[in-house]
Amino acid sequence: MVMRSDQHTLILGLVLGFLVLLGGCHGKSLKKNFYRKSCPQAEEIVRNVTRRHVAANFTLPAKLLRMHFHDCFVRGCDGSVLLNSTKNTTAEKEAIPNLTLGGFDVIDDIKAELEKKCPGVVSCADIVALAARDSVSIQFNRSIWEVQTGRRDGTVSLASEALANIPSPFLNFTALQRNFANKGLNVRDLVVLSGAHTIGVGHCNAFSVRLYNFTGKGDQDPSLNSTYAASLKTQCRNLTDKTTFVPMDPITPLRFDNRYYAVLEQRRGLFETDAELLTNSTSARITREMLSSHKFFTEFRKSIKKMGAIGVLTGKSGEIRKVCSKIN
Ligand code: HEM
Ligand SMILES: *[C@@H]1O[C@H](CO)[C@@H](O)[C@H](O)[C@H]1NC(C)=O
Ligand SMILES: *[C@@H]1O[C@H](CO)[C@@H](O)[C@H](O)[C@H]1NC(C)=O
Ligand SMILES: *[C@@H]1O[C@H](CO)[C@@H](O)[C@H](O)[C@H]1NC(C)=O
Ligand SMILES: *[C@@H]1O[C@H](CO)[C@@H](O)[C@H](O)[C@H]1NC(C)=O
Ligand SMILES: *[C@@H]1O[C@H](CO)[C@@H](O)[C@H](O)[C@H]1NC(C)=O
Ligand SMILES: *[C@@H]1O[C@H](CO)[C@@H](O)[C@H](O)[C@H]1NC(C)=O
Ligand SMILES: *[C@@H]1O[C@H](CO)[C@@H](O)[C@H](O)[C@H]1NC(C)=O
Ligand SMILES: *[C@@H]1O[C@H](CO)[C@@H](O)[C@H](O)[C@H]1NC(C)=O
Ligand SMILES: *[C@@H]1O[C@H](CO)[C@@H](O)[C@H](O)[C@H]1NC(C)=O
Ligand SMILES: *[C@@H]1O[C@H](CO)[C@@H](O)[C@H](O)[C@H]1NC(C)=O
Ligand SMILES: *[C@@H]1O[C@H](CO)[C@@H](O)[C@H](O)[C@H]1NC(C)=O
């Protein structure tokens, strides 16, 4: 009986401890319009500067959306993707999957503008999340997903961690699913967020093995649409071409829409990881669901909100960088 009561006390203690922990996390979580009081114009400034850059360079929405993804998958969304290498360390930027990351100048410009208005207030991590949303949203003339704010900036950026955490385009479904699960994202999030490949480009070296040497016998990936493969081969002439790039959504490459899924169904997904989404019955079913545009936009809002909250630093953790490419 004594044992029983002790056990009850223990369980009660654990439950209470858990609730306190939950409460603590809640108090420190992201919120809508975090800068309402500290920098009321923050979000408008981000939007304005982003618009100005995108108006001059249509490739930027894809760059900024991918930057947000790469930031969140390495040490959480803490702006670590923006840091330059130091004497001691090789930064995430220098890692192989950084390949062709871009838009850093946009972030620097936004930051400079914000520092003029409200010095030391708005984090670089929040700027990345907002700029991704704002750049993609321009074609809709309204924000197409909500971005909560209150992230703080990390102080560490390591190329080795980018290599370990950013999924390679050669992963199979199991490995891809595990990579997302490690970030608290499920198969639905995986399929829905892959829809980001409705804009932007891929360089030949990320997929040309599917065209020229899939199993090491000079063969082609049988899961790739052969008509499409023939057309890709006219652009990517050999296995070593690292400079040519092609749109991932050949139908509407600049438009953020759900066409990615129609492309997948036609076996025209560019990377092995895109094609792999059709190999598992659950993810294949979710892919078909996303053929409904309304469903895609609804689901994308949910999944990118989850992605934007991965491992965030809040409260007193981290810092607010003065310059996004270096720690204070
Ligand atoms: C599912 C795992 C993913 C893999 C393996 C993957 C891989 C890649 C690769 C290899 C490229 C081409 C880079 C280049 O050659 O220039 C790319 C581009 C891109 N990715 Fe992903 N990605 C994944 C998920 C995501 C997610 C979750 C997002 C955002 C929510 C995203 C957004 C983008 C965008 C927008 C581009 C185009 C970038 C540009 O035009 O420069 N990707 N991705
Ligand atoms: C943002 O741009 C709009 C439209 O050009 C302008 O009216 C507004 O004053 C700008 N806001 C800030 C904070 O710069
Ligand atoms: C970080 O690197 C970029 C590109 O090399 C450079 O333009 C920028 O000035 C660097 N930032 C700092 C703080 O040195
Ligand atoms: C270099 O590493 C040392 C020891 O790990 C650390 O104290 C120092 O701050 C680092 N310097 C830079 C510029 O990162
Ligand atoms: C990406 O890393 C390579 C080295 O692996 C480096 O030459 C290149 O400048 C980096 N790209 C960016 C945008 O930092
Ligand atoms: C557009 O932005 C990308 C990414 O920063 C950059 O590589 C490219 O040179 C820019 N193009 C123009 C015309 O400025
Ligand atoms: C975009 O929205 C603003 C305000 O909601 C409106 O004034 C403007 O005319 C719209 N522009 C377009 C191209 O629809
Ligand atoms: C998927 O990739 C992992 C890691 O490379 C490997 O261990 C596994 O056997 C692969 N699974 C299938 C079904 O090919
Ligand atoms: C194709 O892959 C095989 C096995 O990895 C390799 O021996 C061969 O050299 C590759 N062919 C080309 C053209 O790279
Ligand atoms: C591969 O293709 C690229 C781009 O077309 C070309 O510059 C390069 O010389 C080719 N390399 C070989 C080994 O054929
Ligand atoms: C291959 O792509 C073409 C469009 O380019 C499409 O008409 C055809 O149905 C696709 N084939 C398969 C097997 O999906
Ligand atoms: C599909 O993926 C889910 C989630 O990883 C897994 O539970 C299920 O066994 C997979 N189904 C098949 C047929 O491989």
User: Is ligand 1 within 6 A of the CB of residue 275?
Assistant: no
**CA of 120 relative to ligand 3 center, distance in Å:** 19
Contacts of 209 (CB under 8 A, 6+ apart): 170, 239
pLDDT of residue 7: 52
Contacts of 207 (CB under 8 A, 6+ apart): 169, 232, 236, 270, 271, 272
pLDDT of residue 97: 61
**Residue 196 pLDDT > 80:** yes
**CA of 88 relative to ligand 4 center, distance in Å:** 6
pLDDT of residue 95: 85
Ligand 8 pocket by C-beta < 6 Å: which residues?
A: 172, 174-175
DSSP 223-284: TS-HHHHHHHHHHS-STT--S-EEESSSSSTTS-SSHHHHHHHTT--SSHHHHHTTSSHHHH
Burial 292-319 (b: 16+ CB within 10 A, else e): eeeebbebbeebbebbbbbebbbeeebb
**Residue 204 pLDDT > 50:** yes
**Residue 16 pLDDT > 80:** no
What fold, for 173-307?
Peroxidase; domain 2 (1.10.420)
Residues 288, 192: contact at Cβ < 8 Å?
no
Overall average pLDDT of the 160-189 stretch: 97
Confidence of residue 100 (pLDDT cuts 50, 70, 90): confident
Closest protein CA for atom 2 of ligand 5 = 94
Atom in ligand 2 nearest the alpha carbon of residue 41: 13
Q: Which of 97 and 283 is assigned the larger pLDDT? A: 283
The average confidence (pLDDT) of the chain is 92
Domain parsing of the chain, residue ranges: 42-165, 173-307
What class is the 42-165 domain? mainly alpha
**Residue 28 pLDDT > 90:** no
pLDDT of residue 312: 98
Closest protein CA for atom 7 of ligand 10 = 241
Atom in ligand 8 nearest the alpha carbon of residue 173: 1
pLDDT in tens, 238-274: 999 999 999 999 999 999 999 999 999 999 999 999 9
What percent of the chain is predicted at pLDDT more than 70?
A: 90
Query: Which of 174, 178, 221, 283, when mutated, tests ligand 8's pocket best, judged by the most ligand atoms within 8 Å of its CB?
Result: 174
Active site residues: 70
**Residue 17 pLDDT > 50:** no
User: Is ligand 1 within 6 A of the CB of residue 110?
Assistant: no
Overall average pLDDT of the 29-39 stretch: 97
**CA of 85 relative to ligand 3 center, distance in Å:** 9
In which residue are the tokens 């790469």 written?
70
Closest protein CA for atom 7 of ligand 8 = 175
pLDDT of residue 99: 63
pLDDT of residue 123: 98
Q: Where are the beta strands (DSSP E) in the chain?
A: 201-203, 245-247
In which residue are the tokens 């997929």 written?
207
Least confident among 25-39, 190-204, 211-225: 25-39
